[in-house]
Amino acid sequence: MAIRNLRYEGDEILKKKSREVEVIDEKIQTLIDDMIETMHKYNGVGLAAVQVGVLKRVVVIDLYDDKGPIVLINPVIIKEKGEQEVEEGCLSFPNQFAKIKRPAEVVAEYTARDGKRMRVKAKELLAQAISHELDHLEGELFIDKIIPGTLEYIEQENN
């Protein structure tokens, strides 16, 4: 496993649409492992492959609960319900946070890393994370969806 370089605000790749994963091979498995390690290094809740410069429809999410990280390959939201106003940030936009409107609940279909097609019903933070990361796969960024006047820049000390 390896820490991948994150792509940051202004990098054109972040605006590009990601391609379907055709085959879950060793290269994709390595990408997934690297993405999980990278997400954990930067204390992220989610990471899309495009954020490490790979235009593939792969997302990892970890709510740091007893379930561990989840891997979504070729994910699609098939149902949304309700709305929640949430504070959101992004590893590609360090130290920037803003309020966003996201669905309160989503149902997503995806392929797990073992190749099985799965479905997840998500609420609250997981619904927010899935929505955020799937936006990345479409080249959409949270910064373009902020509620006006809510963007904050937080200075953080380097550890």
Percentage of the chain modeled with pLDDT above 90: 96
Edge-first strand listing for the sheet containing 105-111: 46-48, 58-61, 70-81, 105-111, 117-123
- Whether pLDDT at 159 is above 50: no
Q: What band does 154 get if pLDDT is binned at 50, 70 and 90?
A: confident
Domain membership of residue 104 (yes or no) is: yes
Domain membership of residue 3 (yes or no) is: no
Domain membership of residue 1 (yes or no) is: no
Domain membership of residue 159 (yes or no) is: no
In angstroms, rounded to a whole number, what is the distance separating the alpha carbons of residues 115 and 93?
A: 32
Contact 139, 145 (CB under 8 A): no
Number of domain units in the chain: 1
Q: Which positions are annotated as active-site residues?
A: 133
54: tokens are 């790979």
In angstroms, rounded to a whole number, what is the distance separating the alpha carbons of residues 125 and 102?
A: 10
What pLDDT is recorded for position 156?
64
- For the segment 40-65, the average pLDDT, to the nearest whole number, is 97
| 97: β partners | 152
- For the segment 53-59, the average pLDDT, to the nearest whole number, is 98
| 80: β partners | 106
What pLDDT is recorded for position 131?
98
Contact 47, 89 (CB under 8 A): no
88: tokens are 């959101």
Domain membership of residue 20 (yes or no) is: yes
| CATH label of the domain that carries residue 62 | 3.90.45.10
61: tokens are 């999410």
Domain membership of residue 26 (yes or no) is: yes
- For the segment 11-40, the average pLDDT, to the nearest whole number, is 98
Domain membership of residue 5 (yes or no) is: no
What pLDDT is recorded for position 157?
57
In angstroms, rounded to a whole number, what is the distance separating the alpha carbons of residues 89 and 132?
A: 10
pTM of the predicted model as reported, rounded to 2 decimal places: 0.95
- Whether pLDDT at 151 is above 90: yes
Residue 127's domain spans which residues? 12-153
Rg (CA), the chain: 15
Domain membership of residue 2 (yes or no) is: no
pLDDT in tens, 78-112: 999 999 999 999 999 999 999 999 999 999 999 99
